[in-house]
Amino acid sequence: MCGIVGYTGAGQAAPVLLDGLSKLEYRGYDSAGIAVRDGEAEPVIVKEKGRIADLKKKIGSEDNVIGTCGIGHTRWATHGAPSETNAHPHHSDDNAVVGVHNGIIENYEEIRAKLKKKGYEFYSQTDTECIIKLVDYYYKKYQETPIEAIARAILRVRGSYALCLMFADYPGEIFCARNGSPMIIGMTGEDAFVASDVPAILNYTRHVYYIDNMEMAHLKKGGVEFFNIDGDRIEKELVEIKWDAEAAEKGGYEHFMLKEIHEQPKAVEDTIHSVVKDGNRIDLSGVGLSEEEIKKISQIYIVACGSAYHVGVSSQYVLEDLAGIPVRVELASEFRYRSMPLLQDALAIIISQSGETADSLEALRKMKASGIKTLAIVNVVGSSIAREADHVFYTLAGPEIAVATTKAYSTQLVANDLLAIEFGRVRGLLTDEEAYRLVEEVKSIPEKIATILEDKNRIQWFASKFANAHDIFFIGRGIDYATCMEGSLKCKEISYIHSEAYAAGELKHGTISLVEEGTLVIGVCTQSEVFEKTVSNMVETASRGAYLMGLTTEDNYSLEDVARFTVFVPKVDEHFSTSLAVVPLQLLGYYISLARGLDVDKPRNLAKSVTVE
Ligand code: AGP
């Protein structure tokens, strides 16, 4: 979604802003802009619809944007169409306040109406213009400092935001505030940076401060100060970012997605080793869950969005079977508006790569407010969900740049597998030996994923054959159905081909009428208990003209008698089969998108981190 970069210091601001914005491109955006100030001069604001490259073209020479203080933004339209006018930065009528904003101001219409009565005019459809003009209004009315005026404004607005402002009366200074949207401040020597996400400033510093909700920051050359909502100075802890800047580069791969698919063996292995100690013992002390707490759990609620939700759907089978705890998996966007009776001895598991997904964050808050213990499975250290949850299991996928998740998804799966094994052992459903054997199976996953990746050319060939398909159906039962959901999402989000994941037994209750001559039906069959059943459902579609692709484990060679193209993945304990079966489906989505000449890493209309409802 939207991205923010700000800089003030000894160097020129524009190159830092443009570099930072380009590092945030992966989040998805439709327009971009910067405002740069040279000493006391008025800021130069340049905005453009489209890509950063279009903005750079419009700026022309960097001599056109001279100055050591500036703010920049990539916008993903929420209020008002993507256009140069709606792009940020926005400004008050006399340029006294210029700013950029991430998130949504829910009561912007009310603010706009109030300000109109006071004589303000509005040139854009954005909520951002409203908050900037509100700050300007308070700043002038009460003759206050910028921090006081911002505090007054944020007490008035409802919604989530990260806000970065420059005031005409304060050359070389940037003022920031946040509530709900991520924001970090970095310092090195005389240079101060602000950004909505770590990659934007990783080239310059790896020491950052995280601003909490309803806090503000004041940046100037050589220093930064933090304030609470009362305007009192507060101290913040400097945190070191351990990511490697190189990890956020493509490293020779054509796309981030392909690179990240190939990083899965290492990401999964690192995540396993973060909790599996000598002798295959699972140690959850870092996660903070004690054996007493585990024994008390009467119900698990898994709440997440998109692919993270699909992880939940797959993991429910594993948790119920190995740990004997009933599991409900909820879409965060639905859960947050539902009045569902919650069991008090429950554990809520919130799964999120970014740790900033608005619906997942609200679901977490709702769980906490209901007195439910929360455990976050999160990839981004220091993210909102990680900070607000009672317990955190960090996946070690490293930075994931492609919008379509792959390696984060895979690490979330093994994190849940290990929780299920340990819960089962602690609660007496598994002996130490059984738990040991299952951990061995989980530990075999990285190498097996690497084997699947060696066979990617076959999938590429098949993908090019179906690059123009109209519809694709993914069918399976149980855990295989969960794998289908992710395979289908991978396909549609980057290839723009309509696809559906269907529980194979449900097909004949309606959906099979969509199958016609040549429709691609992919049957996932890794679960021995329902293997024959799914194969029968595949045959039913073939009788109506479907072209069948089968996906199963080595040894199930009989599937080749039914399917016209079959992919085999190595055998693993069937509880963990999603970890392997999903990989050919990730490759299929990738190669179809590639064959169609689409923007694989930045698919249309999508953002990496969905920080609005
Ligand atoms: C999947 O490829 C998508 N990018 C999307 O469904 C994603 O999984 C979802 O938005 C949740 O994001 P999160 O893990 O950062 O919370």
410-469 pLDDT, tens digit per residue, is 999 999 999 999 999 999 999 999 999 999 999 999 999 999 999 899 999 999 999 999
Q: Is the CB of 499 under 6 A from ligand 1?
A: no
**Predicted confidence (pLDDT) at residue 553 exceeds the cutoff of 90:** yes
- Gap between the terminal Cα atoms of the chain: 12
Dist. CA 612 → ligand 1 center (Å): 13
**Predicted confidence (pLDDT) at residue 552 exceeds the cutoff of 80:** yes
Cis check: omega of the bond before 146, within 30 degrees of 0: no
DSSP E strands in 450-496: the ranges are: 471-476
Specify the residue with its C-alpha closest to ligand 1, atom 16. Answer: 352
For 284, the token pair is 């959850």
**pLDDT bracket for residue 92 (50, 70, 90):** very high
Dist. CA 563 → ligand 1 center (Å): 31
Rounded distance, CA 507 to CA 511, Å?
A: 5
Instruction: Give percent above pLDDT 90 in the chain.
Output: 80
Q: Is the CB of 200 under 6 A from ligand 1?
A: no
Average pLDDT for the chain? 93
Which is the closest atom of ligand 1 to the Cα of 405? 2
**Predicted confidence (pLDDT) at residue 26 exceeds the cutoff of 80:** no
Contact 275, 286 (CB under 8 A): yes
Interval 303-324 mean pLDDT:
98
Which is the closest atom of ligand 1 to the Cα of 353? 14
Catalytic residue among 2, 305, 484, 491: 2
Q: Is the CB of 541 under 6 A from ligand 1?
A: no
Q: Supply the pLDDT for residue 1.
A: 65
Of the candidates 234, 229, 233, 95, the one whose C-alpha atom is nearest the C-alpha of residue 166 is 95
User: Within a 10 A sphere around the Cβ of 465, how many other Cβ atoms?
Assistant: 13
**pLDDT bracket for residue 247 (50, 70, 90):** low
Interval 79-98 mean pLDDT:
91
**Predicted confidence (pLDDT) at residue 611 exceeds the cutoff of 80:** no
Interval 189-200 mean pLDDT:
92
Q: Is the CB of 318 under 6 A from ligand 1?
A: no
Specify the residue with its C-alpha closest to ligand 1, atom 8. Answer: 307
**pLDDT bracket for residue 602 (50, 70, 90):** confident
Of the candidates 112, 132, 411, the one whose C-alpha atom is nearest the C-alpha of residue 264 is 411
Q: Supply the pLDDT for residue 76.
A: 82
Q: Supply the pLDDT for residue 245.
A: 60
Task: Specify the higher pLDDT residue, 8 or 81.
Answer: 8
Of the candidates 523, 517, 505, 520, the one whose C-alpha atom is nearest the C-alpha of residue 472 is 520
Which is the closest atom of ligand 1 to the Cα of 608? 4
Rounded distance, CA 121 to CA 128, Å?
A: 14
Q: Is the CB of 395 under 6 A from ligand 1?
A: no
Contact 361, 306 (CB under 8 A): no
Q: Is the CB of 388 under 6 A from ligand 1?
A: no
Specify the residue with its C-alpha closest to ligand 1, atom 3. Answer: 404
Q: Is the CB of 589 under 6 A from ligand 1?
A: no
Interval 115-122 mean pLDDT:
94
Q: Using CB atoms within 10 A of its CB, is residue 60 exposed (0-12), middle (13-18) or buried (19+)? A: exposed
Q: Using CB atoms within 10 A of its CB, is residue 231 exposed (0-12), middle (13-18) or buried (19+)? A: middle
- Which of 330, 383, 385, 405 to probe ligand 1 with, by most ligand atoms within 8 A of CB? 405
The identity of residue 591, as a single letter, is Y
Q: Is the CB of 352 under 6 A from ligand 1?
A: yes
Of the candidates 311, 334, 471, 340, the one whose C-alpha atom is nearest the C-alpha of residue 406 is 311
Q: Supply the pLDDT for residue 159.
A: 84
Q: Using CB atoms within 10 A of its CB, is residue 338 exposed (0-12), middle (13-18) or buried (19+)? A: exposed
Dist. CA 610 → ligand 1 center (Å): 8
Q: Is the CB of 308 under 6 A from ligand 1?
A: yes
Q: Give one DSSP letter per residue of 103-159, joined into a string.
A: EEETTHHHHHHHHHHTT----SS-HHHHHHHHHHHHHHHTT--HHHHHHHHHHH--E
Q: Is the CB of 574 under 6 A from ligand 1?
A: no
22-36, 133-147, 166-180, 362-376 — which is least confidently predicted? 22-36
Q: Is the CB of 404 under 6 A from ligand 1?
A: yes
Q: How far is CA 281 from the centre of its chain?
A: 30
Which is the closest atom of ligand 1 to the Cα of 609? 15
Dist. CA 264 → ligand 1 center (Å): 17
Dist. CA 38 → ligand 1 center (Å): 40
Out of 71-85, 185-199, 241-255, give the one with best mean pLDDT: 185-199
Give every strand in the sheet of 44-49, ordered side by side. Answer: 44-49, 31-37, 69-75, 3-8, 191-195, 184-188, 207-210, 239-240
**Predicted confidence (pLDDT) at residue 246 exceeds the cutoff of 70:** no
Q: Supply the pLDDT for residue 405.
A: 97
β-pairing, 90-91 vs 97-105, is antiparallel
Interval 175-197 mean pLDDT:
92
Q: Is the CB of 403 under 6 A from ligand 1?
A: yes
**pLDDT bracket for residue 4 (50, 70, 90):** very high
Q: Supply the pLDDT for residue 243.
A: 66
Is 484 annotated as catalytic?
no
Dist. CA 608 → ligand 1 center (Å): 7
**Predicted confidence (pLDDT) at residue 612 exceeds the cutoff of 90:** no
Q: Supply the pLDDT for residue 244.
A: 63
User: Within a 10 A sphere around the Cβ of 469, how many other Cβ atoms?
Assistant: 18
Of the candidates 515, 534, 513, 546, the one whose C-alpha atom is nearest the C-alpha of residue 581 is 534
Q: Is the CB of 422 under 6 A from ligand 1?
A: no
Dist. CA 350 → ligand 1 center (Å): 12
Which is the closest atom of ligand 1 to the Cα of 493? 2
Of the candidates 189, 192, 185, the one whose C-alpha atom is nearest the C-alpha of residue 13 is 192
Rounded distance, CA 202 to CA 243, Å?
A: 9
55-75 pLDDT, tens digit per residue, is 999 999 888 999 999 999 999
266-280 pLDDT, tens digit per residue, is 999 999 999 998 889
Interval 212-241 mean pLDDT:
92
Catalytic residue among 23, 133, 456, 608: 608
**Predicted confidence (pLDDT) at residue 136 exceeds the cutoff of 80:** yes
Report CA dihedral (432, 434, 439, 440) to the nearest 10 degrees: 120
Which is the closest atom of ligand 1 to the Cα of 385? 16
Q: Supply the pLDDT for residue 248.
A: 63
Interval 580-585 mean pLDDT:
98
Specify the residue with its C-alpha closest to ligand 1, atom 9. Answer: 306
β-pairing, 471-476 vs 520-525, is parallel
Is 608 annotated as catalytic?
yes
Interval 543-560 mean pLDDT:
95
The identity of residue 8, as a single letter, is T
